[in-house]
Amino acid sequence: MKTNSYDFLVIGSGLAGLTAAMELSKHGHVLVASKVNASECNSFYAQGGIACVVDPEDTIEAHVADTLSTGSGLSDPKIVEQIIQDGYARIAELENLGIEFDQRKLKGKKTVYDLGQEGGHSHRRVLHAGDITGQSMMKVLIKRALENSNITIRENLMAIDLITTDWIGHPGKNRCVGAYFLDKKSDEIFPIHAACTILASGGLGKVYPYTSNPDVATGDGVAMAWRAGLPIRNMEFVQFHPTCLYHPDAKSFLISEAVRGEGAELKDIRGRSFMEDFDARGSLATRDVTARAIDFIMKKHGDPYVYLDISHRSESFLRERFPNLYAACLRYGINMATDPIPIVPAAHYSCGGVVAEVNGTTDLPGFYACGEVASTGLHGANRLASNSLLEALVCGYATATEISNVWEQFKESVSIPDWKCGEAVSSDEAVVVEHNWNEVRTAMWDYVGIVRTERRLARARARIRNLRQEIKQYYGDYLVTSDLLELRNIADVAELIIRSAEQRKESRGLHYMADHPDATENTTDTIIHDKPGGPLT
């Protein structure tokens, strides 16, 4: 088995990963490993935009204050300020690459950014490219990366586990030297060696059956980092996006928060506006408040969905501001200009992740994390809308800058052993994997969703404990497949979420406990240090 060797390995092809790759390509050869197509990532599906202070009437201080308020006492003020301050320079670099954000003309023909406003923001500060900001950015970045002779993008490579020197018995201080990968086309398993490895693998929405995330978002990065012994922080804070389209033919279709920013109201199926009963900001409340309100209304009345209504805006406005969203709704028989949109909450974003600095550094030398997979201290207990792309952009660049200053000390050649299959054989029981997939996700939705209780968490813990034992046995007996690897990862991530949620005996941000409805004075983070070695405790 041949070991592929690169200067830099980037696991994940979203905004954070490609931003880092572009910068690192100035110093050496970069491999970007993508589990499926390079464009299939949460960044690509981001509709709203990037929050950044560009309006003269807005201030860094106001953006910081909004972020801290939304973070409910767990965001790190220094980290928040650093990331927000660095945003504008990174936006300018995106524009230099060819990304165009929407602009509008003022009287006197002066052109300014056409800024959106979303829940939790006190000013219009969301830069956008129509209603497909993520798609617009990713297309340009992927094109630039493919044109770069120092960047190799390999698709259909699924990372299995990080390779550390302690694991393979290499002498010296423990450090990361790459990862083992499964080639999903050939079923070959091989190691990739790198001086420095960046984890930019994105989110974990597929841990839940209802999510806005694409199918690739199975928490692989967090699970791999945990298995490698890295500390994992604040996993109880899973953001449920309030407004995903409710339609039998729609899969993971998000209705952008920018629609609420342009005046859409949330109504129950009887046509009554209800958000004012829960928050003075009404339909512009933050996502945690809005998702809980919708969940309450649906459960109170037994309704399968609620409505998002922007029919008071003209068709011409909606077609111009939300061209792709408008067209997509029409495909499902919904005219935004005349019809309310049926919506439900769905798992959207993980505020927790691998403990990392703004520059990506972690407790493991040679290993860095950035983007949604990382927990930097920006989001705290809840993420402010459109701060995710900002974080990915700023931290991706900062990670590459840090690595460029230190990577040569990690250039030592390391002999990595072949992947050992042992006595494993091909499985003829794929139905078992599918069944366990459904069990994990159903348990998480029923017991570890928008509203939690100690009893629900205990039930989830018992179910996930049994499932993880089954999966461990299956993993040892059979040759690995991508479905089995993803099952192992979502089960590990489910454990992390449950254990973190059980430790927090209060309601804060995205974590709401019905039997502990108030926030306490304790504003410490939830950190899990131990490796996964057995059942839940």
Residue 104: C-alpha distances to residues 39, 41, 94, 100, 121 (Å):
29, 30, 19, 12, 21
**pLDDT (tens digit per residue) in 87-145:** 999 999 999 999 999 998 887 778 999 998 887 899 999 999 887 888 899 999 999 99
Judge whether residue 534 has pLDDT over 50.
no
For range 273-278, the mean pLDDT: 95
**pLDDT (tens digit per residue) in 433-469:** 889 999 999 999 889 999 999 999 999 999 999 999 9
Quick count: other Cβ atoms within 10 Å of Cβ 438? 11
Q: How far apart are the first and last CA of the chain?
A: 39
- Let me know: does 369 contact 196? Beta carbons within 8 Å: no
Residue 346's beta-bridge partner residues?
241
Beta strand residue intervals within 234-392, DSSP E = 238-245, 265-267, 306-309, 341-350, 353-355, 367-369, 374-375
CA distance 38 to 12: 8
For range 467-495, the mean pLDDT: 93
Judge whether residue 1 has pLDDT over 90.
no
Q: Which domains are delineated in the chain?
A: 4-236+351-410 (3.50.50.60), 241-348 (3.90.700.10), 430-528 (1.20.58.100)
**pLDDT (tens digit per residue) in 385-436:** 899 999 999 999 999 999 999 999 998 889 999 898 877 778 767 788 889 9
pTM of the full predicted structure?
Answer: 0.90
The dihedrals phi and psi of 308, each to the nearest 5 degrees, come to: -115, 115
For range 346-374, the mean pLDDT: 97
Residue matched to tokens 């990331």: 83
For range 225-243, the mean pLDDT: 95
pLDDT cut 70: percent of the chain above it: 98
**pLDDT (tens digit per residue) in 315-354:** 999 999 998 899 999 999 999 999 999 999 999 999 999 9
Q: Using only C-alpha atoms, what is the Rg of the chain?
A: 23
Judge whether residue 161 has pLDDT over 60.
yes
Query: Which of the residues are catalytic?
Result: 287
User: If residue 333 lies in a helix (H) or strand (E), which one and from where to where?
Assistant: none
At residue 535 the predicted structure's pLDDT band, cuts being 50, 70 and 90, is very low
User: If residue 161 lies in a helix (H) or strand (E), which one and from where to where?
Assistant: strand 157-164
- Let me know: does 245 contact 331? Beta carbons within 8 Å: no
The dihedrals phi and psi of 317, each to the nearest 5 degrees, come to: -65, -45
Buried b (16+ CB within 10 A) or exposed e, 1-26: eebebbbbbbbbbbbbbbbbbbbbbe
**pLDDT (tens digit per residue) in 24-68:** 999 999 999 999 998 888 888 877 799 999 999 999 999 999 999
Quick count: other Cβ atoms within 10 Å of Cβ 239? 26
How do strand 126-127 and strand 111-113 relate by DSSP bridges? unpaired
